[in-house]
Amino acid sequence: MTEHAIGNLDEFIDGEKELLSVGGIDIGVFRLDGEFHAWKNVCPHQGGPVCQGRIFKRVIDNLGPDKQQHGRAYDESQLHIVCPWHGAEFNIRTGIHAGIPELSLDPVEVFVRGEKVYVRVD
């Protein structure tokens, strides 16, 4: 694993992402509530550029006993990235697919040292 500095801490806006190519690997780096999360920009479904997708709060369907939908709510604590190719949703903090827990993003180690942000890639 090789360590790469990818920028200064203040260059990463909370709630947003940066798409980078590091050591020949495309990655998405997300900053949420001050924490960093990084994933390879390859969707486990069919290889789409998942990190280029939009960020959404998790949608919670309010189903009644009749299994009919009675409105929606949004889980403020869970942000998802939605793959632009076919819409697969992944939890940005865990990388796990919203409906299929066996499916997950490929993690990239990301950390802060001093005022700089680093990743380790092969």
Chain contacts with ligand FES (rule: CB under 6 A): 43, 45-48, 50, 83, 85-88
CB of 49 to ligand FES, least distance (A): 8
CB of 68 to ligand FES, least distance (A): 28
Structure token pair of residue 112: 């802060």
Residues 6 or more apart whose CB falls under 8 angstroms from that of 65 comprise none
CB of 102 to ligand FES, least distance (A): 15
Q: For ligand FES, which is the closer residue by CB, 43 or 108? A: 43
